[in-house]
Structure 1
Amino acid sequence: MGIEGKLEAELELKSTVDKLYKRLKSEIHHAPDASSDKIHAIEVHEGDWETPGSVKLWTYTIDGKKETFKEKIEVDDETKTVTLVAVDGHVLERYKNYKLIIQIVPKEDHAVAKIAINVEKHSVNVPDPHDYMQFAMGIVKDIDEHLVAQAQ
């Protein structure tokens, strides 16, 4: 058994809970438009853009290095949570298991993205996924700003 770890962060949002949740859940193919400096492409490999359990392949650049991430999506409409479970790609070179969890939570007059990354490391020498957390936060922020710009 490897070493399990979890990182958590919160990000204040400007767009609405429903718009951001819908974009993450079923319109993620628009992410390269919002975050072209990070995400190059997202392609469906199994299923479609909307069905939980569908598999997508992401191509992106993190810390100046081009990587891929093949994920299976899980959604919870009640809690407005999207979970991306790694099934292949560069993150699995570092971690036995990798889950990115994004929950969109309403707050008084705005929304907050609660972002968590759960990993199981191959060994104690593997670093915590701080780089992937910064990357995920940057993408959510870019999508949020893109949605706000589209609404104007």
Structure 2
Amino acid sequence: MSLFGKVEADVEIKASAEKFHEILGGRPHHISNVCPDKIQGCALHEGDWGTEGSVIYWDYVHDGQAKVAKEKIEAIDETNKSITFKVIEGDLLKEYKSFKIVVQATPKGEGSLVHWSMEYEKLKEDVPEPKTLLQFAVDMSKDIDGHLTA
């Protein structure tokens, strides 16, 4: 069994790709106001909001437990409305040697399609695929959409 894996999901939203990308890439600290049941806080540790190389610290609730993650923004593609986050510290690294999240918003009809991709390397074979975390991201996308289209 491989320790490397990737899980992906798509979610259709009513908000534009530009608005979704802008809040996730440029104003992630607003997400705790949008879905406080999932994201308790988001703080900038290095760099500037919305810039590559910045380090963001997240306080969140996943599977009913309070968790933390420190992520570095590896890439922001304004043309394709995508952002790549690399987890560099936090609870995920207790089970995964590496964890990368890519989120891309693509215009679709009146709204957009948000594609989440999580690439990882498990520390051990019995570590589960991060399917509940992927669902967390999908649910968070729906919350953000509700906020942007309200």
* Shorter-normalised TM range: over 0.9
Partner of 1:17: 17
Alpha-carbon displacement from aligned partner over 1:91-123 (angstroms, at most 9, x marks no partner)? 011101111111001113321001111111112
* Number of the residue aligned with 2:123: 122
The CA RMSD measured in Å over matched residues stands at 1.0
Task: Tell me the amino acid that sits aligned with residue 89 of structure 2.
Answer: D
- Residue 65 of structure 1 aligns with which residue? 65
Name the SS of the counterpart of 2:48 in structure 1.
coil
When normalised by structure 2's length, the TM-score is 0.95
The structural deviation recorded for 1:69 is 0.5
1:130, 1:75 → 2: CA distance? 24
SS at match of 2:149: helix
Structure 2 residue ranges without an equivalent (≥5): none
Q: What pairs up with 1:34-113 in 2 under 5 angstroms?
A: 34-73=34-73, 74-113=75-114
Runs of 4+ with >4 A deviation: none
TM-score (norm 1): 0.94
The equivalent of 2:33 in structure 1 is 33
Count residues with an aligned counterpart.
148
Question: Once structures 1 and 2 are overlaid, which stretch shifts more, 71-80 or 86-95?
Answer: 71-80
> Aligned partners of 2:34, 2:72: CA distance in 1, in Å?
22
Cα drift, residue 29 of structure 1: 0.8
